[in-house]
Amino acid sequence: MTESIAPPNTKKESRSTRDLAKVAVSGWLGTAMEFMDFQLYSLAAAIVFNKIFFPDVSPVIGLIAAMATYGVGYVARLVGAVYFGRMGDRIGRKKVLFITIALMGASTTLIGVLPTYAMIGIWAPILLVALRLIQGFGAGAEIAGATVMLAEYAPTRRRGLISSLVSLGTNSGTLAASALWAILVAVLSEEQLLSWGWRLPFLASFLLMIFAVWIRRSLKESPVFEQRADVVDGVALSKDEIAGQDAKHRAAAAAATGTSTIEAALHQKKGKSFLIALGLRFGQAGNSGLIQTFLIGYLATVLLMDKTIGTTAIMYGSILGFATIPLIGILGDRFGRRPLYLVLSTLTALFAIPMMMMVTSGNPTLVMVAVIVGLNLGVLSLFSMESVTMAEFFGARTRFTQLALAKEIGGILATAIGPILAATLTAVTGHWWPLAAMLIGYSLITLVSAAVGPEVRGRDMVRLEDAV
């Protein structure tokens, strides 16, 4: 395989351990903020939004409507993935990461000052959906950008461990949001929670945004982006620019800029790596939507259990995740990505029915154990693997775009639609078996994808072509 050659007119800066640390903190903060924002919203949708923004319908229909507003953000995420993903592959990673963090933070903060349905009627849910769309537009490329930056900065032998910091960020955000909600529902009366308490977590996210924006101002560009054979003066050549090179300069251009390598990547059949990555995404994304979002509302609304049980379980599960996530990253570096995917997805599928039996037992201790184990096994462990594996699947030329699209399409099909479908099926059947069936189905999709995909541990991140 022809190796990529960096153009002689590409400006390259040296990278230090301090630069890697900045990228690590930036990626951690950005994904923490993204998942804090979305977990704040998902828990609010499950606990209070049905009463604040949809008060004139039955509790079950209100829960479905609240979950629908949660789901529309994923449509905006897909648009953001396309727009910012292409921008990131064209002009670099760091500029996109600065924009996305600002969009997410501003929209989340504004949710905290929204008037309720009692104040302005139907305009309240309309404004809620509008801010959710802006939030999703920014978030569509945030986690993909952070994943790409960490994977492209990381040393090959520690790529899984360092990339797992993205997952640690998501876990930190989930923990912070869950802890805030657990405190609120434990300390405040229902009247206080519905009148003003629900606003506090959204307003608090403003401080995290300011810190994240400050960190990202001083980041250096990804070294892989600078070394790409199609990057000249910090901007990637387009297909037309590559194809339009003057014939008499083609031989010299090929030697100087690696044009033959670029053309090989352009002519590679696209799609196989993307479909495998999308399948790998299904298990984590689907399980996340069911366990971290729907199940919390299901416990409080359908099973009529204390609201603190679900939020406390997520909080404890997230704390345990600070050990689970880096451990999985280390194991992935040691044994490979594919074997861990096969083991984790199989165990998650086997645990689905016992988990739901524990959840519906009525025993608070069993409920919490089920949620904690399910979260670490079927969500956080898979996310740790996903953070590095999907980056290694794609070539450097379109890595940002393809990774963002795989994550967001998987998010729409699994995380966004999953809670709405689960709410509908459990309302129609009056039983828990649809939840178990969906958990098994998501895990089997990931299992099959891992079985047919190649091992990508240690792949050269500068190569322009996809793994398959």
Written as one string, the DSSP assignment of 23-64 is HHHHHHHHHHHHHHHHHHHHHHHHHTHHHHT-TTS-HHHHHH
Q: What is the mean pLDDT of residues 216-245?
A: 76
- Please indicate whether residue 245 or residue 34 has the higher confidence score (pLDDT): 34
Strand partners, 232: 235
- Determine the distance from the C-alpha atom of residue 241 to the mean position of all C-alpha atoms in its chain, rounded to a whole number: 33
| Residue 409 reports pLDDT greater than 50 | yes
Q: Which amino acid is at 437?
A: A
Q: Half-sphere exposure of residue 443, counting CA atoms within 13 Å on the CB side?
A: 25
Banded pLDDT at 27 (limits 50, 70, 90): confident
Instruction: Give pLDDT, residue 333.
Output: 96
Banded pLDDT at 415 (limits 50, 70, 90): confident
pLDDT one-digit tens code per residue, 257-286: 555 667 666 667 778 999 999 999 999 999
Q: Is 146 in contact with 97 (CB distance < 8 Å)? A: yes
Banded pLDDT at 74 (limits 50, 70, 90): confident
Distance from C-alpha of 241 to C-alpha of 225, rounded to nearest angstrom? 18
Strand partners, 235: 232
Banded pLDDT at 445 (limits 50, 70, 90): very high
Q: How many residues can be counted in the chain?
A: 468
pLDDT one-digit tens code per residue, 102-137: 888 888 889 888 888 888 877 888 888 888 888 888
State both tokens at 109.
Answer: 């903060």
Q: What is the mean pLDDT of residues 185-210?
A: 84
Classified as helix, coil or strand, 236 is strand
Residue 55's CB is within 10 A of a number of other CB atoms, namely 13
Instruction: Give pLDDT, residue 204.
Output: 83
Instruction: Give pLDDT, residue 143.
Output: 85
- Tokens 């000249």 — which residue? 232
Distance from C-alpha of 81 to C-alpha of 139, rounded to nearest angstrom? 8
| Residue 60 reports pLDDT greater than 90 | no
| 18-228+268-452: CATH architecture | Up-down Bundle (1.20)
Lowest mean pLDDT among 55-59, 272-276, 388-392: 55-59
Q: Which amino acid is at 420?
A: I
- Calculate the average pLDDT of the chain: 83
Instruction: Give pLDDT, residue 67.
Output: 60
| Residue 69 reports pLDDT greater than 80 | no
126 exposure class (CB count in 10 Å sphere: 0-12, 13-18, 19+)? exposed
- Determine the distance from the C-alpha atom of residue 45 to the mean position of all C-alpha atoms in its chain, rounded to a whole number: 19
- Tokens 């929209």 — which residue? 107
| Residue 42 reports pLDDT greater than 80 | no
